[in-house]
Amino acid sequence: VRQRGSHIRLHKHLPAEIIDLYNQSFTRVLEDFDKRPDDYYILENRAFIQDVHVCCLKSIPVGGAWFVQKASIELGAFIGPHPRRLFQYLSYVILKLGGFSPYYVIHTAVRYLNLFRPEEMELAYVRIARLMKQDAGVRGAFRISWFLDPNLEQISPGLAFLRKVPQS
């Protein structure tokens, strides 16, 4: 990262639109220093931590209210009283996916819920695909969320896009 005028310039092999999103994020964070109360800047504040991750290049903004982080698939949710399920999971990850890492994990930045729209989500997925095209080592993208619940459309029809966009 290198400061150039009032913008940050990234020297990574990233699509230009991702670099623009980084610059927008950095600018927003800098402009907010005078607007946010001191108690915003604490480690217990999820929004602050998400901003720090983007500013430290640990998270990649992909547009709207979404960002991704490189991570491994974890076994935690599958270890339990069902050894058969664990075996099925392990064989799927190893044989079908080719391994436990790296993947892009999709997160929602609560701070940017004003950008929580179907068009923005579709663009975010397109940008994730472009990132994956440039980083062939990434095996895929995933998210764990109530957004993917099959009952979402009946419960909150206005949020149906949260399931429909990734499904399509």
pLDDT digits (tens, 9 = 90+) for 62-111: 999 999 999 988 766 566 667 777 888 888 888 888 888 899 999 999 88
Find the range with the poorest average confidence among 28-37, 76-85, 147-156, 157-166. Answer: 76-85
Is the pTM of the predicted complex or chain greater than 0.85? no
The answer to whether the beta carbons of residues 123 and 63 sit under 8 Å apart is yes
pLDDT band at 1 (very low <50, low <70, confident <90, very high): very low
- Two tokens at 101? 């890492």
Res 131 pLDDT > 50 = yes
**Amino acid occupying residue 66:** W
Tokens 């217990």, residue located = 44
Give Cα 87 to chain centroid, integer Å. 28
How confident is the model at residue 3, as a pLDDT?
Answer: 44
2, with CB counted inside 10 A (0-12, 13-18, 19+), is exposed
How confident is the model at residue 89, as a pLDDT?
Answer: 81
Separation of alpha carbons 50 and 62, rounded Å:
13
**Which residues is 70 bridged to in the sheet?**
104
What are the CA-CA distances from residue 90 to residues 72, 81, 85, 96, 98 (Å)?
Answer: 13, 15, 9, 10, 11
Query: CB under 8 Å to 15, separation ≥6 — which residues?
Result: 127, 130, 131, 134
Average pLDDT over residues 113-130: 91
Average pLDDT over residues 125-146: 90
List, for residues 20-59, the tens digit of each pLDDT value. Answer: 999 999 999 999 888 999 999 999 999 999 999 999 999 9
